[in-house]
Amino acid sequence: ALVAAMAQQNLTKAQLAARLGKSPAFVTQILNGGRNLTLRTIAEVADALRADIHFDVIPQKARALSLT
Q: What is the pLDDT along the chain (68 residues), one digit of tens a residue?
A: 889 999 999 999 999 999 999 999 999 999 998 888 888 999 999 999 999 999 888 888 766 666 65
| Predicted pLDDT at 62 | 60
Q: What is the pLDDT of residue 17?
A: 97
**pTM (2 d.p.):** 0.75
Contact call for residues 27 and 20 (beta carbons, < 8 A): yes
Residues 45, 2: contact at Cβ < 8 Å? yes
What interhelical angle do 13-20 and 24-32 show, nearest 10?
110
The reported pLDDT for the residue numbered 67 is 66
